[in-house]
Chains A and B, each alone.
Chain A
Amino acid sequence: MTAEFASKPMFDHYQLDEAYDEMFSPDGGVRPQYASIHRLLEGLTEEEFRRRKDAADLTFLNQGITFTVYGNDEGTERIFPYDLIPRVITRDEWDTIERGLIQRITALNLFLKDIYHDGHILNDGVVPRDLVFTCRHYRRQMRGVNVPNDVYTAVVGTDLVRLPSGEFVVLEDNLRVPSGVSYMLSNRNLMKYVFPRIFGAYGVRQIDDYGQRLLETLRGLAPRRRDEPTIVLLTPGVYNSAYFEHTFLARQMGIQLVEGRDLLVHDNIVYMRTTAGLKRVDVIYRRVDDDFLDPLAFRSDSILGVAGLLNAYRAGNVTLGNAIGTGIADDKAIYSYVPDIIRYYLNEDIILNNVETYRLTDDTVRAHVLQQLDRLVVKAVGESGGYGMLIGPHSTAEERVEFARRIEADPRNYIAQPTLALSRAPCLFDSGVEPRSVDLRPYILFDGQKVTICPGGLTRVALRRGSLVVNSSQGGGSKDTWVLNA
């Protein structure tokens, strides 16, 4: 067995198809940015590979880098699967991504301010009014509320995918509580341990100061002019799937990790309960969804939130990052209007294109889409995490009938897109190196002055052969993303 493995070239099972391959050009040549990695992999003996893999496993295990899967009684904690081969992005590629994301976030933030204030874009008929007001994530409580520095989306994670042409396009905006940044940082640490030499030789841009940058961003949003505002991270608690990330970020920033029950509102001011008495809180980096933030304003059955928080927020006594109601701008039906939104506010053409999207509220489009469900991807507009979607080519006839019924019942709630051939990157398996579909989620911070993109991101991998779903809740994994200096 061992001998067989050792003699087997690592790339025996590697097959190119119509999708863009991150490592090989269509003629089978190695792309220059992957040359050293390719050489390293070819020369890797099984023993050496095992040794590095074991070291990596152990590091992840010891650090308790885990996530929780919902709907599994066993409960639950799994190590987040990762792949040891880094994904490399050249400086030119990154330049485009960076400019595109700055443009997009700037415009979406202006859009949010507009629809919660004067609604110019609605009056001018660029985005249909009913589309906004029927969105499940629209929050009328935010009408006319001024947020510090006009920042609605301080922390963003936008999902990009790469088309067969090599072009990066935006698949999804995540403007509510994007997660995964801790995996980006942990993956990087791991790679530096496991492949120090090659990492050092590559000239990879630094991402390690993300925690500090996040802290600065949050500090800049404090409502009171104070040298040392009190900033906390609000978590739903240990049973949340991203709890590891919450503890990780709180530790990185050196701030308190609080739960709803640690906070209280008194005279519209938010306090946390400490052993030394009540301490005023200025900024809350909240990892709790809008619905659960304040039982008096939103879901009254929520025990994760803080009663009175919305009023304290509206009174300007506390800042929430992100603001309430940002979900309207990452609604998948609004998504199809983002090119128009960018043109409307910035008078610019979109840099990072959208994926072609069918609006199902249009009768002709809907009829057309329903006829070819087996070739399309259908998504519920307000969902994320790979839940509530139909991937046509991988679906059964029953699933398609079910989705057709749902679409007819509530066309506003769904959009359809062509099934994309996501780009594929090399991944290490016991049998050698094989390509798997990947996406890219860069992390973006916005303090009102400047949009900062952390040079890197989470490359998510569909580890199952042939799968297109990269979400960790659906069997996805991740790999380190190297953005090159030159």
Chain B
Amino acid sequence: MLMLSRVSETLYWMSRYMERAEHTARLLDLQVHLLLDQTALDPDQRWNMMLNAIGLAPVDGAHDALSLTHWLTFDTLNDASVLSCISSARENARHVREQISSEMWEQVNSMFFEVKRLENSALWNDQPHRFFRMVKEGAHLFQGITDSTMTNGEGWNFIQVGRYIERASLIARLLDVHFRAFQLTPLHDPIRENFLEWVSLLKSCTAYEAYCKVYTADLRPDRIAEYLLLNSDFPHTVRYSVDHLYSCLQAIARTTESKRAKHVNRLAGKLNAMLDYSSVDEIMTSGLHQILQEVQAQCAQIHSAISSAYIVYPADDFVS
């Protein structure tokens, strides 16, 4: 059955917002924990890093941790807040309720109300960690429900595309912000200073344990970069995300047989190949910053290409 452009766009954004909510919740969780420890970074600088990582402008002067955390979590005037992202995911889901499974709708709906309800709760005030864990679990549950209750057809593929394009660009941005903040750290030696910051970078991608299994607990910046950027087996890496992004876009192209699909797939394939055939040494030599910028720019290009191939193409593209 043909799929309406509006529906696929809505599914795509629903999924992107859910991914963003999860990512922001995880970063905030780690941020709150990091600030408990004495680190070399002063808290204001740490906050600005965090804001930068999710695409917000830095704040001048002193930061009030409590109100900032609240603003980033609950403030619906802040489009980037966790609650705003969940609310946007829910609004999108609501418009395509008949396309997603009832279980998916129930999950995003109850998640929204649960987060709203907890704004003034003791749980939030006393144990923010448990609160953020609940948000992360909610997002995981939504993904799991999606994968087990929805036909793996075109709509599902658009959901995957939304999830992975968001994830790839978020991780690329996070890495970029981090490596620029700690650019004086020797790349090839075990980390001695700011150890917690590097652990937290891995944890931001839920990758600490997975990293240790590959490289042992011996943390080295070049290895961390290699892992988060180029590992093809771990779900929260740039390469893994781009891999899945590419194969879902190919699946969509097969179903729709759209002649405009070629351009989208060429862009996604190019990004995929770049990551496939790079080595971390080359990247470190030619400049990690450039590569990470390139990844983000290409994700943005793929986004516009998807839009002009499947959503807002000019009115001369007829099928049967």
Binding site for B on A (CB under 8 A): 62, 64, 237-238, 247, 250-251, 254, 256-259, 261-262, 264, 266, 271-280
Contacts and interface: CB of A to CB of B under 8 A. Distances in A.
Interface stretch (B68-76, B294-302, B311-319): B311-319
Nearest to B105: A64
Interface in B45-91: none
Contacts of B154: 275
Given A262-B6, A273-B6, A276-B2, 6 more contacts: A64-B102, A238-B97, A275-B4, A275-B311, A278-B318, A280-B318
Contacts, number: 72
A250 B97 CA distance: 13
A273 B252 CA distance: 16
Contacts of B6: 259, 261-262, 273
Nearest to B4: A262
Contacts of A250: 98
B3 interface: yes
Interface residues of B, number: 26
Contacts of B8: 275
Nearest to B9: A275
Interface string B77-118: 000000000000000001101100010000000000000000
Nearest to A278: B318
Contact of A279 (B2, B94, B95, B102): B2
A238 B310 contact: no
B258 interface: yes
A251 B319 contact: no
The 8 closest A-B pairs by CB, nearest first: A276-B256, A247-B98, A277-B317, A274-B2, A275-B310, A273-B5, A277-B319, A275-B256
Nearest to A272: B4
A221 B79 CA distance: 47
B257 interface: yes
Contact of B319 (A62, A256, A279): A279
Contacts of A256: 1-2, 4
Contact of B5 (A64, A257, A266, A274): A274
A271 B2 contact: no
Interface string B275-315: 00000000000000000000000000000000000110101
Counting chain B CB atoms within 10 Å of each CB, the highest count among A62, A266, A271, A277 belongs to A277
Contacts of A276: 2-3, 255-258, 319
Contacts of A266: 315
B259 to A, nearest CB: 8
B97 A273 contact: no
A279 B320 contact: yes
A396 B102 CA distance: 46
Contacts of A238: 94-95, 97
Nearest to B309: A275
A257 B2 CA distance: 12
Nearest to A280: B318
Contacts of A277: 256, 258, 313, 317-319
A275 B319 contact: no
A274 B4 contact: yes
Contacts of A271: 315, 318
Contacts of A275: 2-5, 8, 154, 252, 256, 258, 310-311
Interface in B157-182: none
Contacts of B310: 275
